Amino acid sequence: MYFFRKKDPNRPINFNLKVMHMINAIAITMFVAGMIYKLLDWFVLSK
């Protein structure tokens, strides 16, 4: 039930957790951008 619990308003904001999520979002964005570039490179630019 970890994923379905309500946010506790009394819980302090953890800066390390926010930074971890930001880095994770940047990594996912860079991965998707790289995959799109590779697909364009293979199918569009190789002709």
Could you give the 3-state DSSP secondary structure of residue 28? helix
The pLDDT value given to residue 47: 60
User: Looking at the predicted structure, is the pLDDT value of residue 1 above 60?
Assistant: no
The residue ranges of every structural domain in the chain are: 21-47
Residues written for the chain = 47
Tokens representing 11 are 């819980």
Query: What pLDDT score was predicted for residue 19?
Result: 93
pLDDT band for position 12 (cuts 50, 70, 90): confident
Instruction: Provide the whole-model pTM.
Output: 0.67
Residue 32 in tokens: 């998707």
* Rounded-to-integer distance, Cα 7 and Cα 44, Å: 46
Give the pLDDT band (50/70/90) at residue 14: confident
Q: What is the DSSP letter of 2?
A: -
